[in-house]
């Protein structure tokens, strides 16, 4: 059975450079200002400006997704802002891949994998969190009511794609 695109679609996300920024919360606030993303990164939320999107995944952890076109400027601003302040910035561009999930069945498919409530009331657009999907970790970010970005470690992508595809097909019944 083939699902229509409006039911469920899974596609590689647009190319991004990725960095894990870790620091004490006050330092992360400094980073937010340096990147022009406000005074703080709100917990479990995405913030975007220019080429930079930041997902606050933990009190001391932010995942930065950068459009390659403007990545260097963003990184320069960040490094300048954090100069002399204790932090860790590690490139993970190749550690993980992005998958765009969309369609009317996307919530049902995800609900087969994660124990968190993905209904829009509980997981609104702009929310982002790491969670357990089946037997693999992934970062789930809702980009639209019927659209999620899933960031997973590279070697887990085939497993999660297979699981999501099967779950979406089951969700028809």
Partner 1 sequence: MSQAFRVPGHGRVDPARTVSFTFDGRRFQGQAGDTLASALLANGHHLMGRSFKYHRPRGAVSAGSDEPNALVAVGSGPALQTPNLRATQVELYEGLTAVSQNRFPSLKFDLGAVNTLAAPLLPAGFYYKTFMWPRSFWDRVYEPVIRRAAGLGVAPTAPDPDHYAFQYAHCDVLVAGAGPAGLAAALAAGRAGARVILAEETAEAGGSLLSDRTSRIDGRPAALWVADILAELAGLPNVRVLTRCTAFNYGPHNMVALNQRLSDHLADPAPDMPRERLWQVRAQEVVLAAGALERPLVFEGNDRPGVMLASAARTYLNRYGVACGRRAVIVTADDSAYRVALDLHAAGVTVAAIADLRPAPDSALVRAAQEAGLTVLPGTTVQRAHGGTRVHGVELARLLPDGSVGKGRHWRADLVLMSGGYTPSVHLFSQSRGKLVFDAELGVYVPGEPAERTRSAGACRGVYALACVLADGAAAGVAAAGAAGFAADAPAWTVDAADEPGRGGYAGALPRRGKGLLAMAFVDFQNDVTAKDVKLAVREGFQSIEHIKRYTTTGMATDQGKMSNVNALGIAADALGRPVEKVGLTTFRPPFTPVTFGAFASHARGDLFDPDRRTPIDPWARAQGAVFEDVGLWRRARYFPRGSEDMEAAVRRECLAVRGGVGIFDASTLGKIEVVGPDAATFMNRMYVNAWTKLGVGRCRYGLMCRENGFVYDDGVVGRIAQDRFHVTTTTGGAPGVLALMEDYLQTEWPELDVWLTSTTEEWAVIALQGPSARAVLAPLVDGLDISAEALPHMSLAEGTIGGVPMRLFRVSFTGELGFEINVPARHGRAVWQAIWDAGQGVGITPYGTETMHVLRAEKGYIIVGQETDGTATPDDAGCGWAVSKAKADFVGKRSLALPAMQAPDRKQLVGLLTEAAWEVLEEGAQLVARPDEAIPMRVLGHVTSSYFSATLGRSIALAMVSGGRARVGETLYVPMEGRTIAVTVTKPVFYDVEGARLNV
Partner 2 sequence: MLLIRCPYCGERSEIEFANGGEAHIARPADPMSRTDEEWAQYLYMRDNPKGLIAERWRHAHGCNRFFNALRDTRTDRFVMTYEMGRPRPEIDAATAAEAAR
Q: Where are the alpha helices (DSSP H) in 83-173?
A: 106-111, 157-170
| 26 binding partner 1? (CB under 8 A) | no
Give the H or E element holding residue 74.
helix 71-82
DSSP per residue, 17-41: EEEEEE--HHHHHHHHHHTTS-SS-
| 95 binding partner 1? (CB under 8 A) | yes
Give the H or E element holding residue 144.
strand 136-144
Report helix, strand or coil for 100: strand
- For partner 1, the binding residues in 97-156 under the rule CB under 8 A are 108, 111-112, 114-115, 117, 119, 122, 134-136, 153-156
Partner from partner 2, partner 1, none contacting 130, C-beta within 5 to 8 A by type: partner 2
Which member of 11, 43, 69, 85 binds partner 2 (CB under 8 A)? 43
Closer by beta carbon to partner 1, 44 or else 50: 44
Min dist. Cβ of residue 172 to partner 2 (A): 26
| 68 binding partner 2? (CB under 8 A) | no
| 72 binding partner 1? (CB under 8 A) | no
Report helix, strand or coil for 82: helix
Give the H or E element holding residue 81.
helix 71-82
**Separation of CA 168 from chain center:** 20
* Footprint of partner 2 (CB under 8 A): 43-44, 57-61, 115-116, 129-132, 137
Binding site for partner 1 (CB under 8 A): 1, 20, 22-24, 60, 86-96, 108, 111-112, 114-115, 117, 119, 122, 134-136, 153-156, 158-160, 162-163, 166-167, 169-173
């Amino acid at each position: 059975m083939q699902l229509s695109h409006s039911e469920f679609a899974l596609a590689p996300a647009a190319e991004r450079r990725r960095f894990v920024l870790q620091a004490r919360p006050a330092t992360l606030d400094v980073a937010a200002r340096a990147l022009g993303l406000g005074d703080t990164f709100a917990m479990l939320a995405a913030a975007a400006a220019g080429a930079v999107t930041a997902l606050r995944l933990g009190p001391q952890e932010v995942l930065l997704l950068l459009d390659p076109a403007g990545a260097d400027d963003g990184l320069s601003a960040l490094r300048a802002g954090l100069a002399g302040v204790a932090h860790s910035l590690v490139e993970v561009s190749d550690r993980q891949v992005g998958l765009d999930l969309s369609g009317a069945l996307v919530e049902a498919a995800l609900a087969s994998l994660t124990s968190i409530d993905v209904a829009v009331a509980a997981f609104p657009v702009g929310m982002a969190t790491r969670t357990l999907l089946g037997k693999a970790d992934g970062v789930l970010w809702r980009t639209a009511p019927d659209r999620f970005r899933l960031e997973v470690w590279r070697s887990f992508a085939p497993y999660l794609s297979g699981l999501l595809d099967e779950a979406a097909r089951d969700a028809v019944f």
